[in-house]
Amino acid sequence: MKLLKNRRLSRAAVRGGLYAAVFALCVILSVLIGDTAVLPAAAARDLPIYSVDRPNKVVSLTFDAAWGNEDTQQLIDILGRYNIRATFFVVGEWVDKYPESVRALSDAGHEIMNHSDTHPHMTQLSREKMIAEVTACDDKLEAVTGVRPILFRPPYGDYDNAVVSTLRELGHYTIQWDVDSLDWKNPTPEAICERVLSRAREGSIILFHNAAKNTPAALPSVIEGLIAKGYSFLPVSELIYRENFTVNHEGRQIAGS
C-alpha cells in the first residue's frame, strides 16, 4: 500500500509540474503575441498635440518666451513683413517683466498662450500646484491682453498623463511640436533654416524661441523657404481641431473621433 501511495504522489507531482509548465508557456506566449486575456494591457498614454493632420499645406510658427526680451520687437517686425500671425507661449514671470512686449505682440495680431508661471517641470508637481501654475499665468495674460489662453505648452516639453488630463480639465489643449529649430543651441542661421525646411510637413508645429541668438537672422529665410514650398501660416489655435478629434501614437491630431 505504501508503494502504491508513493506512485500516486509521484504521478500527481508530475501532473502538477506539467500544468505549471503549460501555464508558464501560456504566459510567455501571451507576452509575445499580446494576449490581453491573460495579461493586462499597458495603460494608454494621453498625448499632447505635436502636429495636425491637415489636407492643405499649412503650418504654425511658435515661439517660447521665458527669459530674455532683446529681440521681441525684431520678431514682430519680421512676422509683420510677411503678414504672418504666430503663437507665443509665454511664462508668467516674463509677463511680469515685460508687459509692454506682451501687449505689443497682442496688438500685432499674434496669439499669446500659456507656458506656465515659473517654468517648472510640470511632472514634478501635484495636481494642485499644476493648476496654480497655469491659472496664475492665465490671469496675467488676460489682464494684459484681455484674452484668456486656451493652449498650454509644458516647460522643457516635460509632460505625462496627469499633466495632459489636468490641463484638459482647465480647458486647455496641450501643445508640443514636431519640428524643433534647435535655435536655443545657437546654430548658424543657415543650419536653422535647413533643419526647419527639411522637416516641415502639412500641419507641422514649428518651435522657435525668443532671445535665441540667430533666430531673427534665420526667420526670413525660413519663411521664404516655406512659402516657396507652397506653405501658408496659421496660429496654433486655428491650426488644431477644437472637437471631434483623436491624437495618434505620434501625437498627430486627426479629425473625427
Is 225 exposed, middle or buried (CB count within 10 Å of its CB: 0-12, 13-18, 19+)?
middle
Burial of residue 103 (CB within 10 Å: 0-12, 13-18, 19+) is middle
pLDDT, one tens digit per residue, over 139-195 is 999 999 999 999 999 999 999 999 999 999 999 999 999 999 999 999 999 999 999
Q: Which three cell numbers stand for residue 150?
A: 486656451
- Closest-CA residue to 194 (of 234, 221, 228): 221
Specify whether the CB–CB gap between 216 and 69 falls below 8 A: no
Which residues have a catalytic role annotated?
64, 209
In eight-state DSSP terms, residue 158 is: -
C-alpha cell at 146: 484681455
Predicted TM-score of the model (pTM): 0.83
Listed range (24-33, 53-62, 111-120, 158-167) with the worst mean pLDDT: 24-33
